[in-house]
């Protein structure tokens, strides 16, 4: 708990200074430096293993030089493309189909522009803050603008420059998920400013905590592919943004029906396919761990879709197409932190639980929160991420993880809860501050006339006929 409170002081650490009261960080091997090339009998490192690799291993005598593996490299090349596919066009279509016709272009532009902006912030400063050596809370600046990363530098058995862009696609989709909460009412200029700042000040530090050698990874938090880093982080930020923007005009009085659910189903399908790169690629190699991650991903998505449809039929009398698509996404979110740690039985159970809980998240919980989370970014990603992170402690299997499996489920559950609470607190507080500053400077919400006109015309001068 002490570390969670200290995490809220990260804004000072962002300036690059050391935190004297933080316990010594566990550093990530930096393959771009000759002394940091580590040889082990198992050259495949997942995200979590990169985060908790013992410092002694870095200085250990080299038994066998680690070399680039072309199979691993080819798989991560493909995975990178698949994860980018999740955002453009996947998420753009998924969200675009759910808004009113007058806002479809602006909604799709959010995902497209997020991909462009985050690509730049990531190479300039995001990657170094997330993955270079620093302290327990933030990385250093030694890899700013990817300084020192040569074509020969390795992360595990893949080129480090490939690891950079693979991780970039995670940062992109995290920011894009937030846009589901702000659809149909945020100024485009404010959105651009928010994305630029948030991707550096919020996303990069939390990534460092979990995967970059920070305190959560050191404590043993399990997050195979981004339950905390991506989904809880973006879901909470979206909820805060929804509160700060206020409700859409006419909500509850006017029809807010989706203009084209065919686009949403196509988008959800692309997201589902792309998730194989998201989870399978997080094994950082073409190996059995990647294979298991693909299977558990598919099973969880399928189970959650069915669970959602059954629940919706019982509650509302009909099983909707949108419900099936939303259920599949819920299952994908829930399995993300556990994809490489659980058996297919665990994935099945997590999917069934996730489908029901996320349905509750976008119905009863949404009404209780009284926030206009337009496209249910929090209900799907925030709630699903929390459920997945906690259930990872329950279903983490020695059959899959071997001697790396947690030996005390209750202790692991606390570690997972610690990561959940820290991510919620940091993301919520910093998102509020960023949006408050932007609101004071340029405003974050469009005018009433612009909102009535639709953001396609008012913000972009275009519309769909």
The model's pLDDT over 259-314, given as tens digits with 9 standing for 90+, comes to 999 999 999 999 999 999 999 999 999 999 999 999 999 999 999 999 999 999 99
- The secondary structure of residue 194, as a DSSP letter, is H
**Which has more pLDDT, 59 or 116?**
116
C-alpha distances (whole Å) from 33 to each of 36, 38, 49, 134, 150 are 5, 11, 19, 15, 10
- The mean pLDDT of 184-199, rounded to a whole number, is 97
Is the per-residue pLDDT at 20 higher than 70?
A: no
Kindly state the percentage of the chain with pLDDT values over 90. 83
Is the per-residue pLDDT at 366 higher than 60?
A: yes
Tell me which residue has tokens 């410092």: 55
The model's pLDDT over 103-117, given as tens digits with 9 standing for 90+, comes to 999 999 999 999 999
Q: Is-contact 189 442, C-beta < 8 A?
A: yes
Measuring CA to CA, which residue among 30, 42, 17 is closest to residue 289?
42
- The mean pLDDT of 81-92, rounded to a whole number, is 97
Q: With 0.85 as the threshold, say if the pTM is over it.
A: yes
- The mean pLDDT of 375-381, rounded to a whole number, is 96
Which phi and psi (to 5°) does residue 139 adopt?
A: -80, 170
Question: Where does 212-258 have alpha helices with state H?
Answer: 215-219, 233-245
Interatomic CA distance for residues 422 and 221, integer angstroms? 12
Interatomic CA distance for residues 355 and 363, integer angstroms? 13
Domain 32-56+65-460 has CATH 1.10.150.650: no
The ranges assigned to domains in the chain are 32-56+65-460
Per-residue model confidence (pLDDT) at position 45: 63
Interatomic CA distance for residues 403 and 347, integer angstroms? 20
Kindly state the percentage of the chain with pLDDT values over 70. 86
Token digits for 233? 């982080």
Is the per-residue pLDDT at 41 higher than 60?
A: no
Confidence of residue 356 (pLDDT cuts 50, 70, 90): very high
The model's pLDDT over 130-172, given as tens digits with 9 standing for 90+, comes to 999 989 999 999 999 999 999 999 999 999 999 999 999 999 9
Lowest mean pLDDT among 20-29, 204-213, 263-272: 20-29
Per-residue model confidence (pLDDT) at position 415: 96
Is the per-residue pLDDT at 7 higher than 70?
A: no
């Amino acid at each position: 708990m002490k570390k969670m409170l200290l995490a809220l002081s990260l804004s000072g650490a962002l300036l690059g200074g050391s935190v004297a009261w933080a316990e010594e960080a566990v550093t990530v091997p930096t393959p771009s430096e000759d002394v940091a090339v580590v040889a082990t009998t198992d050259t495949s490192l997942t995200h979590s293993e990169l985060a908790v690799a013992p410092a002694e291993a870095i200085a250990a005598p080299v038994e066998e030089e680690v070399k680039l593996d072309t199979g691993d490299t080819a798989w991560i090349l493909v995975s990178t493309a698949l994860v980018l596919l999740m955002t453009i066009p996947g998420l753009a279509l998924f969200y675009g189909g759910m808004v009113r016709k007058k806002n479809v272009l602006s909604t799709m532009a959010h995902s497209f522009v997020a991909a462009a902006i985050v690509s730049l912030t990531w190479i300039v400063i995001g990657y170094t803050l997330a993955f270079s050596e620093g302290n327990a809370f933030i990385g250093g600046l030694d890899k700013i603008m990817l300084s020192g990363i040569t074509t020969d530098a390795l992360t595990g058995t893949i080129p480090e420059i490939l690891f950079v862009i693979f991780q970039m696609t995670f940062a992109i989709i995290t920011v894009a998920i937030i846009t589901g909460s702000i659809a149909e009412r945020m100024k485009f200029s404010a959105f651009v400013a928010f994305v630029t700042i948030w991707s550096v000040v919020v996303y990069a530090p939390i990534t460092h905590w979990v995967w970059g050698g920070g305190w959560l990874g050191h404590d043993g938090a399990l997050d195979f592919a981004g339950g905390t880093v991506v989904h809880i982080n973006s879901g909470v930020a979206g909820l805060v943004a929804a509160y700060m923007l206020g409700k859409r005009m006419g909500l509850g009085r006017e029809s807010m029906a989706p203009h084209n659910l065919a686009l949403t189903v196509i988008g959800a399908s692309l997201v589902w396919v792309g998730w194989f790169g998201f989870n399978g690629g997080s094994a950082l190699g073409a190996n059995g761990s990647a294979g298991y991650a693909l299977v558990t991903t598919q099973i969880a998505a399928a189970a959650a879709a069915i669970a959602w449809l059954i629940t919706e039929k019982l509650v509302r009398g009909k099983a909707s197409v949108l419900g099936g698509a939303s259920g599949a996404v819920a299952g994908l979110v829930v399995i993300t932190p556990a994809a490489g740690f659980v058996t297919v039985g665990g994935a099945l159970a997590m999917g069934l639980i996730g489908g029901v809980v996320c349905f509750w998240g976008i119905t009863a919980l949404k009404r209780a929160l009284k926030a206009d989370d337009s496209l249910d970014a929090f209900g799907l990603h925030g709630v699903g991420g929390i459920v997945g992170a906690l259930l990872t402690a329950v279903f983490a299997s020695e059959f899959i993880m071997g001697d790396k499996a947690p030996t005390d489920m209750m202790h692991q559950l606390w570690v997972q809860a610690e990561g959940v609470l820290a991510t919620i607190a940091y993301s919520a507080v910093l998102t509020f501050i960023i949006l408050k500053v932007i609101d004071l400077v340029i405003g974050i919400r469009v005018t009433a006339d612009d909102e009535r006109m639709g953001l396609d015309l008012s913000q972009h001068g275009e519309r769909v006929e």
